[in-house]
Structure formats: structure tokens, C-alpha cells
Chain A
Amino acid sequence: MDREGFDRYERQLVLKGFGRNAQIKLQSAKVLVIGAGGLGCPALVYLAASGVGSIGIVDHDSISLSNLHRQILYSTNEVGNNKAEVAAAKLRSLNPEITITSYVSRLGKSNVMEMISNYEYIVDCTDNFESRYLINDACLLLKKPLVFAAVSDYQGQLAILNFLDESGFSVNYRDLFPIPPNPGEVPNCEENGVLGVLPGIIGTMQAAEIIKLITGLKGALINKLLTYDLLTQQIYQMDISKASLDSYRQPLMEDFGNLNPDIAAVEEIEGVIFKQLLENQDTFIVDVREVHEFPKLDGPNYKQIPMSVLDEHSLDDISGKHVVFVCQHGIRSLQAAETFHDLGESKKKLYSLKGGVSKWKAALKELELIS
């Protein structure tokens, strides 16, 4: 770190429990902030100021006068300009040592995966359920930690989703609210109004949580939902548990269409998604266990390619767009799928069954793959 870097971050470098190592982690982190509005502006300011090395900003919208009471990066003379571009310019001036990229795009199924795949941490600062579920599902599939926040009247919600805790447990937004509300069921800020300072507080909290995740500071809101009430200044925190597997349809890579195969690397899948895939005619199972291993699998779209002779085979003779690799515990199958993926077999979507045959024996029997 040079002299200027030291001076810029001095106050956090001398902070007990933070210091140089944390600063280096921030410098090498890549964070994507989706939505540069009421939540996004304060989140972006603190992420850039703290020295997050690479920040992406997604917003297709232009600045309007009614935004200015809460969207603190913008000025009256910038009304009409694009938010992502103006925000990027302001942040570059705030901290020229970091990389800021603006994306003037409306987020949709065709571009969300590509955008998210270039970053390590995703911050949801959007203002509608359609985007929130889209971002959640994409983060779930790409295994990207997501810092979610939203406001309503005088209250805000905040949670860290899709991030494994110490016991290897994680939840996603659908574990909180499995099905999106119907249009008009939940009023938005436009209809209900909002005090500018509320998204200011909650967006700042999002930045704090990202900084905690990146640097490993204690107390991040992993698998917890925090609700903040501006009027009472009270905070209510609760643990999020997993919703039952049948409470929502698990998102699939193919839901997103137009996928760049480089992004759609090997995906580890489990129970319900596995079943859904197997109901698809275009799915083929490759068993990489050795011939002596039990229980034996069989079926019309099934082939055994033992790990010991993997390099003698290709996937050319396998029909189907989806290939699910299986083994006893899901470790060799992941390795095999990644080997084929690295060999450029990515015209097919490759999956590995997490937990393997031993974990999903009952499901495999039900699907008549075990005789």
C-alpha cells in the first residue's frame, strides 16, 4: 500500500480488529450494486470510500427531481441523466484508486447471469419484486452471496442470503417469501411515500454488511432477517430457516435462456431440482462410480463411465442437453463434470448430484433408476 493509500484509509487501518489485512481484502473484492436509487446511493458511497477495489453499478433509469430527497449522489442539474453513469463519475472522483463500472441496462433474464458472474458479492438495492426474485434466483444458481434490503413506510428489511454460515447452512429470499406477491398487493415507495433518510440508513447498513462479509468481521447478518423501525429506532432480528422443498419451484439455469456457456459452469444440484431435471427428456445420467459399486443404477438415459477410465471417454455419444454426473457421495461426480467442462464439453449443461447416490437412494428408487 502506498502513502496515499495509507492516508486515505488511515482511520480504518488503525481500527482494532480491522487493519491492513482487512484493507487488502477490500481492495481485491468485487461488488455489484444493482439499483442506484435510495438504497444504492448510500451503499455505493461507503463501499467506494472504504476502498472496495472493483464496484459495478447497474441502473437503466434516469434521475428525476423526485429522486433527490433520498438519492444523495445526484444533483438538481443532473436531472435527466442516467443514474449508473452519474453515480460512477461521482464515485471515481471520491476514490480514484478503485475501479468503477457502470451498466446502463435494465436487468432481465437475458443479462442477469452474465452481470452477476463477474462479481463476488451482490447488493440488491432494487425497488420491485420482479427484480428481487430475479436477482435472488440468479445468485442462488451462481452461488453468489447476496445482501438484500428493502423499505416500506417507516421500516426496512435487511438480510445476508446465499452465504454459508459456519455449519455450512444458507438460505435464500424464497426461504423467506417463497412466492412473489401479486401485482399491487404490496405498495411501493412511489405509491406509499418514503422519508429519504430511511433508505439512507438501510443502504448504509447494506454497505456495512458487505464490508463485514469481505473482511471477516464478526456479526454479519448471515441467515438472519433484520427489521428496522425508524419511528421507534428499534431493531428486530430473527433467524431464517429453510422453507420446505415443495414450497417453491427451484430455479434452473435454463430459466434464464441465452446463456453464455462459460458462465454456466458445473452446477451442483439436489433433490427437487434433480427430479425436475430427470423429468426432462433431454437429461442424461453419467455414473462415474467403479463397476463394483452398489446400488447399481439403470435406465434409458444412463451410462456408466468409471472415474478410473474417464480420460478414455468423451460426451459425444451422449444425447441430451443436460448431463447429470453421479457417484456415491457427490465428490467424484463434481470432479468428473468439471474435467469434462474444462475440456470444452460445455455445449451440454453439466451437473453433479450433491450428496450422491447414497443420499438420494430413495429418490432414485422412486424414479426407477435403481432396480
Chain B
Amino acid sequence: MRINLLSFGSLTEIVDSGLIIDSELTDSDSVRNYLLKNHPEIADKKFIMAINKTIIRQNTDLTELDTVAILPPFSGG
């Protein structure tokens, strides 16, 4: 499946935003696993995941070209 990944804040230093094509991406958990496998540094980061602009709390099915955003907390002011 193809998904649009949007990364924010310090996560952009680990993973770029853009299209990801991988047949195993079927739900949000598979995206998380994909990120952990390809960018293991992300394991140490706190972030939330949103699918099509809604924050998700549990594993959620994806459809073709869904936008998955990953956002860390910001503290600067």
C-alpha cells in the first residue's frame, strides 16, 4: 500500500516526509513497525500518530494514500 508520511519537529531529522510504498503497510501498527525497522532511533522518541488529521489511540486500518502524521511534543518558547 502507498501512504503519505508526514513527520514533524525533531522526527524530521530521523525520517523524511514523503510517499512510502510497502505491501505490508495495512494499518497504523504496521507503519509504526516499518518506522522502527528502518529508523531504529525513533524507538527512543515520544510521538503521537494521526491518520488523515485525526489522532489515533489504537491500531487503525489504512486505505490507499492515507496521510499518516507523526508528531513529537515541542517545548520551546
- The residue in chain B whose Cβ has the minimal distance to the Cβ of A156 is B74
For residue A156, which residues in chain B have a CB less than 8 angstroms away from its CB?
A: 74
Q: Interface-forming stretch among A80-88, A145-153, A351-359?
A: A145-153
For residue A132, which residues in chain B have a CB less than 8 angstroms away from its CB?
A: 75
Interchain CB contact under 8 A, A186 and B69: no
CB distance from B60 to the nearest CB of A (A): 11
For residue B54, which residues in chain A have a CB less than 8 angstroms away from its CB?
A: 238-239, 241
Per-position 1/0 for B53-72, Cβ under 8 A of A: 11101000000000001011
- The residue in chain B whose Cβ has the minimal distance to the Cβ of A187 is B10
For residue A157, which residues in chain B have a CB less than 8 angstroms away from its CB?
A: 71, 73-74
Interchain CB contact under 8 A, B74 and A150: yes
For residue A124, which residues in chain B have a CB less than 8 angstroms away from its CB?
A: 77
For residue B71, which residues in chain A have a CB less than 8 angstroms away from its CB?
A: 157, 225, 227
- With A37-B77, A128-B75, A155-B74 given, is the CB distance from A239 to B57 under 8 Å? no
Interchain CB contact under 8 A, A151 and B76: yes
CB distance from B2 to the nearest CB of A (A): 20
- CB of B36 within 8 Å of the partner chain: no
- CB of B50 within 8 Å of the partner chain: yes
For residue A189, which residues in chain B have a CB less than 8 angstroms away from its CB?
A: 76-77
Inter-chain CA distance A239–B51, complex, in Å, is 10
Name the one of B45, B72, B74 contacting A151, with C-beta atoms under 8 angstroms. Answer: B74
- CB of A176 within 8 Å of the partner chain: yes
For residue A126, which residues in chain B have a CB less than 8 angstroms away from its CB?
A: 77
Residue of A35, A124, A239 most packed against chain B (CB within 10 A): A239
Residue of B6, B8, B45 most packed against chain A (CB within 10 A): B8
Interchain CB contact under 8 A, A186 and B75: yes
Interchain CB contact under 8 A, B57 and A152: no
Interchain CB contact under 8 A, A185 and B55: no
Interchain CB contact under 8 A, B69 and A39: no
Per-position 1/0 for A165-205, Cβ under 8 A of B: 00000000000110101000111110010100001000000
For residue B57, which residues in chain A have a CB less than 8 angstroms away from its CB?
A: 241, 243-244
- With A181-B46, A185-B46 given, is the CB distance from A199 to B73 under 8 Å? no
Interchain CB contact under 8 A, A150 and B10: no
For residue B6, which residues in chain A have a CB less than 8 angstroms away from its CB?
A: 236
Inter-chain CA distance A240–B55, complex, in Å, is 6
Interchain CB contact under 8 A, B10 and A127: no
For residue A237, which residues in chain B have a CB less than 8 angstroms away from its CB?
A: 53
- CB of A38 within 8 Å of the partner chain: yes
- The residue in chain A whose Cβ has the minimal distance to the Cβ of B45 is A185
Per-position 1/0 for A208-248, Cβ under 8 A of B: 00000000000000000101000000001111110110000
Interchain CB contact under 8 A, B75 and A152: yes
For residue A53, which residues in chain B have a CB less than 8 angstroms away from its CB?
A: none
For residue A243, which residues in chain B have a CB less than 8 angstroms away from its CB?
A: 57
- The residue in chain B whose Cβ has the minimal distance to the Cβ of A125 is B77
Cross-chain pairs A/B with CB under 8 angstroms, 6 sampled: A151-B76, A152-B10, A181-B73, A185-B45, A227-B8, A239-B55
Q: Which residues of A contact B (CB under 8 A)?
A: 35, 37-40, 124-129, 132, 149-153, 155-157, 176-177, 179, 181, 185-189, 192, 194, 199, 225, 227, 236-241, 243-244
Q: Which residues of B contact A (CB under 8 A)?
A: 6, 8-10, 12, 44-46, 48, 50, 53-55, 57, 69, 71-77
